[in-house]
Amino acid sequence: MPVAPSIKESMASSSFIRKMFEEGIQLKAQYGADNVYDFSIGNPDLEPPAKVHAVLAEIAASPEKGLHAYMPNPGYKETREAMAKKTSAEQGVPVDFSHIVMAVGAAGAMNSVFKAVLSPGDEVAVPAPFFAEYTHYARNHGASLKQIPTKEDFSLDFDAIASALTEKTSVFIINSPNNPTGKIYTAAEIAGLAAVLESHRVKTGKTVVLVADEPYRDIVYDNRAVSPVFPHWPATVVVTSFAKNLSLPGERIGFAAVNPACPDAKDMLDAIIFSTRVLGFVNAPAIFQRVVAKCWNEPVDYSLYAARREKLAAVLDAAGIEYFLPEGAFYLFCKVPAPREAAHTAGSDGEFCDHMKKHRILGVPGTGFGKKGWFRLAFCAPMRSIELSAEAFKAARASW
């Protein structure tokens, strides 16, 4: 059967993370799980809170009819009310349930938002490095992704942003904490970004929609907090999920929240709801809408991630590999070391990741995230695997 050339192109450029994950499965079968150090994919290994299982059991035992029936496209009212409460607390402004659209994960929410606001030929701007799938989400709707460089510490470069915005720019994505760096953008940075967007609006007459992608909001370190975006820019939509904070990535449950101050907020919400339907999502999963309505604020002990962050950082220090210490999420973004062997190419992240595989270490090249010369390690992996990887990292560095 013929496959569209555009899909073939996208498949060829987007398979690197999943490819690493699948290679990890093969290597573990060959060498044993303890002898493969798989830091390729952000698949949280903490178990969901006990209450999630309790609520599932309660739902399964319920005599209520219609548990699996259709509901309104934006979701159950009680679930949207719970998400509005969550969003109000995080954003510091009152949010009504009518501004919430339940979605098939943050990815589904973002695609519904993009469908609602993008036209063919539009541009989606994003600071680099960024989550690799953004490129394909933009292409899904006839738009292109414009990468904007950040400063050395991955903070926002306002001059670069101002230069990158054009009359074609319809969306600006901000992902905090960032995947792959773990960078958290400060309140001053959000305010500065809003000032650039306002200057652009005055200059061109076009309001750019700010999409805040926040699935890692709760996973932060050293007493940091993620700054709200609603108070800074009216035309903002937050998209998020419970994949990372409640360890429910396979359940595909998330939502979009539209800033009450958004111009024509009702039109925006109607468009997102319509897009959710026509993209084939129809509605978010019924059972897990009920689960997150009761479990969204369950406490989770993220100290295990913090301990793994410290341990993997120590392993890399001992091996002589530089990295950015993440402020949130569960990734270490590392700099490809200068080669000691003439056979290796300086700054080649793909080549270095292939080299690490020879030592049974799986990482992801930074090129796919828009940052050549770097690579990502996900530390949502067992502490034992991190500890056992120490000698492998030293050997990989020494032979590079």
Report how far residue 32's alpha carbon sits from residue 111's, in angstroms, rounded to the nearest whole number. 39
What length is written for the chain? 400
Find out whether 241 and 213 touch, Cβ atoms under 8 Å.
no
The three-state secondary structure class of 303 is helix
Contacts of 187 (CB under 8 A, 6+ apart): 227
Q: If DSSP codes are grouped into helix, strand and coil, which group holds residue 148? A: strand
Residues of the chain with pLDDT under 50: none
Token reading at 226 = 């993620």
The predicted-structure confidence for 102-112, as pLDDT tens digits, reads as follows 999 999 999 99
d(CA 355, CA 227): 39
Selection from 220, 291, 249 nearest residue 44 by Cα: 249
- 257 neighbors 100 (Cβ within 8 angstroms): yes
* CA–CA gap between residue 82 and residue 96 (Å, rounded): 10
| Ordered domains of the chain (ranges, CATH) | 5-48+301-398 (3.90.1150.10), 70-295 (3.40.640.10)
Q: Which amino acid is at 175?
A: N
pLDDT of residue 209: 99
CA 292 → CA 81, 85, 217, distances in Å? 11, 12, 16
Instruction: Give the whole-angstrom CA distance, residue 375 versus residue 381.
Output: 17
Identify the pLDDT of residue 18. 67
DSSP string, 12-54: HHH-HHHHHHHHHHHHHHHH-GGG-EE--S----SPPPHHHHH
309-323 CB burial, b ≥16 within 10 A, e <16: bebbbebbeebebeb
Show the beta-strand stretches assigned E in 76-219: 100-103, 123-127, 144-148, 169-175, 209-213
Encode pLDDT of 210-235 as tens digits: 999 999 999 999 999 999 999 999 99
The closest of 207, 29, 35, 217 to 117, measured between CA atoms, is 207
Q: What is the pLDDT of residue 14?
A: 66
Three-class SS state of 249: helix
Long-range contacts of 184-189 (CB under 8 A, 24+ apart): 184/220, 184/224, 184/226, 184/227, 184/327, 184/328, 185/155, 185/156, 185/227, 186/155, 186/227, 187/227, 189/155, 189/156, 189/227
Rounded CA-CA distance 130/241 in Å is: 17
Instruction: From 67, 84, 111, 75, select the one nearest 283 (Cα to Cα).
Output: 75
Measured CA angle at 335 (ends 334, 338), to 5 deg: 145
**CA-based nearest residue to 274, from 117, 79, 87:** 117
**pLDDT reported for residue 277:** 98
pLDDT at 22: 78
